[in-house]
């Protein structure tokens, strides 16, 4: 993708990103690191993705049965504090470069890293922008839904992000969109492991409820966005080329283990 090299700025709520062509430099975003080790890239442009505001229904109103279900899910998740599942939710909240792909290591039987699997590492890093930001931000910034930990005046399982999350709309969940996109992509590469991979992608989204960072309905909507983004990525030549490189790379890792 090639567009003007002039820097363009999106200012939407607390999200400020600058990009040249399809390269993004994160200034403030709950998905992208505030100080990334290198600029982010995306496979898709703004006009490539579906409008999340048009695609998704509105989030539940606070006097609705659906919101009561959201509250019940939050309270259930909150009972898991200081359990192994809480620790997993904390790990899933960490979107630092050093943690890219790590949540799926056990399901895959392969450790993803910049050093050992660079093609896969960069593929997953790129879709952080596509799924976690471009796929969700229009609805997020329109609704500016309050997050559970703010509503209940508590903190998330990953409190170092709380200041930023307070300014970033809750609906839909960018983390969940990213997790589901990742699961769909990896399960396509390894259909024989699809049950484990998809379960891990589902659990990755549920971690946001357990963390108190998102309502259940945010997570459910995020999965819709994740699936939409993957469908659109399959029409992108650059992504499909990188997908094949990543698949070959991971298959080599499988045979060498």
Catalytic residue list: 175, 208, 214, 218
- Pick from 137, 173, 153: which is nearest to 13 by CA? 137
Evaluate whether 185 touches 230 at the Cβ level (below 8 Å): yes
Reduced to 3 states (helix: H, G, I; strand: E, B; else coil), residue 25 is strand
Pairing of strands 15-20, 40-41: unpaired
Query: 27: which DSSP letter?
Result: E
> What's the token pair of residue 7?
């820097």
Evaluate whether 20 touches 177 at the Cβ level (below 8 Å): no
H or E segment at 196? helix 194-211
Show Cβ contacts of residue 23 under 8 Å, excluding neighbours closer than 6 positions.
39, 40, 41
- Can you say how many angstroms the Cα of residue 22 is from the centroid of all Cα atoms in its chain? 18
Cα 86 to Cα 77, 217, 226, 237, distances in angstroms: 8, 20, 24, 39
144: left (phi over 0), alpha (psi -120 to 50) or beta: left
């Amino acid at each position: 993708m090639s567009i003007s090299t002039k820097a363009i700025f999106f200012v939407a709520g607390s999200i400020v990103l600058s990009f040249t062509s399809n390269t993004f430099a994160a200034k403030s975003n709950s998905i992208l690191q505030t100080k990334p080790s290198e600029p982010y890239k995306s496979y898709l442009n703004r006009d490539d993705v579906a409008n999340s505001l048009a695609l998704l229904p509105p989030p539940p109103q606070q006097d609705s049965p659906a919101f009561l279900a959201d509250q019940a899910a939050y309270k259930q998740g909150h009972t898991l504090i200081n359990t192994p599942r809480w620790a997993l939710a904390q790990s899933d909240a960490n979107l630092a470069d050093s943690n890219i792909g790590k949540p799926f290591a056990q399901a895959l039987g392969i450790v993803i890293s910049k050093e050992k699997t660079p093609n896969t590492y960069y593929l997953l890093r790129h879709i952080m922008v596509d799924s976690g930001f471009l796929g969700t931000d229009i609805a997020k910034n329109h609704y500016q839904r309050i997050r559970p930990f703010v509503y209940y005046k508590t903190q998330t399982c990953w409190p170092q992000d709380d200041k930023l999350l307070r300014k970033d709309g809750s609906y839909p969940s960018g983390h969940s969109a990213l997790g589901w996109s990742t699961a769909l992509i990896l399960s396509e590469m390894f259909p024989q492991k699809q049950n484990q991979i998809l379960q891990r992608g589902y659990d990755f989204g549920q971690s946001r409820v357990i963390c108190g960072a998102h309502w259940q309905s945010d997570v459910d909507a995020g999965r819709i966005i994740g699936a939409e983004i993957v469908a659109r990525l399959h029409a992108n030549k650059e992504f499909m080329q990188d997908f094949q490189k990543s698949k070959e790379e991971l298959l080599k890792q499988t045979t060498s283990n």
